[in-house]
Amino acid sequence: MPPILPDFSNPVKLKYAKLGYQYLVNHILYLLWIPVMVGILIEVLRLGPDEVLSLWRSLHFDLVQILCSSFLIVLIAIVYFMSKPRTIYLVDYACYKPPVICRVPFSTFMEHSRLILKDNPKSVEFQMRILERSGLGEETCLPPSIHYIPPKPTMEAARGEAELVIFSAMDSLFKKTGIKPKDIDILIVNCSLFSPTPSLSAMIINKYKLRSNIKSFNLSGMGCSAGLISIDLARDLLQVHPNANAVVVSTEIITPNYYQGNERAMLLPNCLFRMGGSAILLSNRRSHRRSAKYRLVHVVRTHKGVDDKAYRCVFEEEDKEGKVGINLSKDLMTIAGEALKSNIATIGPLVLPASEQLLFLLTLVGRKIFNPKWKPYIPDFKQAFEHFCIHAGGRAVIDELQKNLQLSAEHVEASRMTLHRFGNTSSSSLWYELGYIEEKGRMRRGNRVWQIAFGSGFKCNSAVWKCNRTIKTPVDGPWVDCIDRYPVHIPEVVKL
């Protein structure tokens, strides 16, 4: 009689063998110390108390030697603590939630496209196919100026969107943290495509009457990964400015960048990008050691701009009719994969346990010496992180990273649901994803989070955070009124 169930013994044995290997390699130092300490203890017991006491009395200590040794120990301790980098805390953050009146259901988006591009039905059909496969939902939002037919991308409307998004996020951050505007020492704003004069950072300073000696920075043109670049800049500034608070504002202003031409490569961003923004409070003050949500562990930045294809794969330019838009190259995913590989090669040794690094090294050596056709070993980053925040740039981006990093559906759930609910909000999407994980009650003390973002240029940036305390389910934020509906099933194609 054939067996009713398949034989699971081999997979189970392999699983436990792998777990045993990981435990052995990751705890090798502790396992070596145990027999050493046991040997010392046995030797002490064998000698007896009289012999141990006589051995201690036989040692001669000179006063000068004691003083010199004490001074050396104190000096080493001072140098160590002075050279040790300051700990950077993420106190809290806030994400902007667009009002219902800005909602753009599929039917509204397609109706507007048909009216705006009535002379080019093929472009309308192309946008419909992209939207059907985008992974976006019915509740994503566009700014009021884009709701007009035709859209009215004026400077006044763009400033209005910037004020609405940024001031709402800042107000929410002040309310959450209790910090006052006068307590902000460093302000960093990143917005890739909208860079007015005065700058957006000056707009915030004027609105909240920040101090005259505040250190403000405005980053533009750095794409969707600019949020982590801002975090890196804030980290460097907080290393040299003790007892300071830094606010990072990440957003993308859609109003002046809505493409109204017919080039397919430039119509793609219209289907994916939506309103969004975030404000993050970082600090190096010791008073935030217990109250802060996270501690910054690593920031790794990779830039592929030396390669011409990588440099031009996300490129702002004019089409044949003189209309400005963002041209997304067909090579984008290939270039993103190469940038990710370089980033992983840097961040891997910093975060992976010894067991994974050893397997990777052995496979690499085996391919070089024995057989180049050996399949390269992909490190298991699930051993290093509990949560993953992958930039919600599009369904293809999330699919590719899930496949390459061998992640489960739950690991990319936050990214997929953020894309579905809010669309591609550019550099702020990582914070909507982190908010999703917190709103689901999954963030525990000691959990590690890996944020991965891609940007024009071409860049791949990573940030690693460690949870400072178990996060209680937030009572406010962009997910509060809809978290019970998520996760939702997202079909491969939504027929419109």
Helix (H, G, I), strand (E, B) or coil at 215: strand
Instruction: Determine whether 112 is an active site residue.
Output: no
* Residue in the block written with tokens 């998520």: 486
Is 82 buried (19+), middle (13-18) or exposed (0-12) by CB count in 10 A?
Answer: exposed
**The one catalytic residue among 27, 241, 298, 303:** 303
Q: Which token pair is 103? A: 């909602």
- Cβ atoms < 10 Å from Cβ of 235: 19
Residues 6+ apart with CB under 8 A from 442: 387
Q: Which token pair is 364? A: 């690499």
Q: How far, rounded to the nearest angstrom, does the alpha carbon of residue 17 sit from its chain's CA centroid?
A: 33
Instruction: Determine whether 420 is an active site residue.
Output: yes
Residues 6+ apart with CB under 8 A from 310: 304, 335, 338, 339, 457, 458
* Residue in the block written with tokens 């809290």: 92
Instruction: Determine whether 391 is an active site residue.
Output: yes
Instruction: Determine whether 241 is an active site residue.
Output: no
User: Following DSSP, what letter does each residue of 316-358 receive, concatenated?
Assistant: EEE-TTS-EEEEEPTTHHHHHHHHHHHHHHHHHHHHS-HHHHH
**The one catalytic residue among 391, 411, 460, 467:** 391
CA angle 473, 409, 373 (to 5 degrees): 140
**The one catalytic residue among 245, 424, 461, 468:** 424
**The one catalytic residue among 112, 420, 460, 467:** 420
Separation of alpha carbons 453 and 448, rounded Å? 17
Among 445, 175, 401, 131, which residue's Cα sits nearest to residue 290? 445
- Cβ atoms < 10 Å from Cβ of 129: 12
* N-terminal to C-terminal alpha carbon distance within the chain: 51
* Residue in the block written with tokens 């989070």: 449
Among 354, 353, 384, which residue's Cα sits nearest to residue 450? 384
Query: φ, ψ for residue 83 (rounded to 5)?
Result: -85, -15
Q: Which token pair is 21? A: 């290997």
Residues 6+ apart with CB under 8 A from 113: 123, 124, 127, 128
Query: φ, ψ for residue 248 (rounded to 5)?
Result: -110, 125
**The one catalytic residue among 387, 447, 460, 468:** 387
Provide the annotated active-site residues.
Answer: 224, 303, 387, 391, 420, 424
